[in-house]
Amino acid sequence: MSSAGTVSSLVFDAYIFALACFLGFIVISKVPSILHTPLMSATNAIHGIVYVGAIYLAAGSHGWISDLIAACAVALGAGNVVGGFVVTDRILAMFRRPPGNETAKGGVSHD
C-alpha cells in the first residue's frame, strides 16, 4: 500500500467528515422538541453502525484474544443496532395523529 495513496484517502475521509458535521447540524436543528426522545433514540441506533466495523474486525481476526474482543464488539454492536431501532419504532408508534385533524398543528413546527 503506497503511502501517498492512503494519505489522500485519509484527507478524503476528513472531507466527508466536515460535510457530515454541517449536514448533521442542519438536519437535527429542524427536529421539534416534541420528538427529541425518538431523535436521540434513532441516532443511538445509527451509531450502532460500529457493528459493521465489528464484523470487519471479526472477519480479519486471528488468535483467541483478538477473537474474544471481536466477538464482544459484534455482540454489543448488534444489541445497539437492533435494540435501538426497535425501541425507536415503539416510541414513534405512540405519537398518534390527533382525532379529526388531517394535518399536524399546534406545538409541532414544520419549518
Which of positions 9-38 make contact with other proteins (CB under 8 A)?
9-10, 13, 16-17, 20-21, 23-25, 27-38
d(CA 22, CA 29): 11
Q: What is the DSSP string of 13-60?
A: HHHHHHHHHHHHHHHHHTS-GGGHHHHHHHHHHHGGGHHHHHHHHHHT
Grid cell digits, residue 57: 474486525
Minimum gap (Å) between residue 68 Cβ and other proteins = 9
Minimum gap (Å) between residue 50 Cβ and other proteins = 5
Minimum gap (Å) between residue 67 Cβ and other proteins = 6
Q: Does 94 participate in binding other proteins (rule CB under 8 A)?
A: yes
Residues 70/57, Cβ–Cβ less than 8 Å: yes
Which residues 64-83 are close enough to bind other proteins by CB under 8 A?
65-67, 69-83
Q: Does 8 participate in binding other proteins (rule CB under 8 A)?
A: no
Minimum gap (Å) between residue 15 Cβ and other proteins = 10
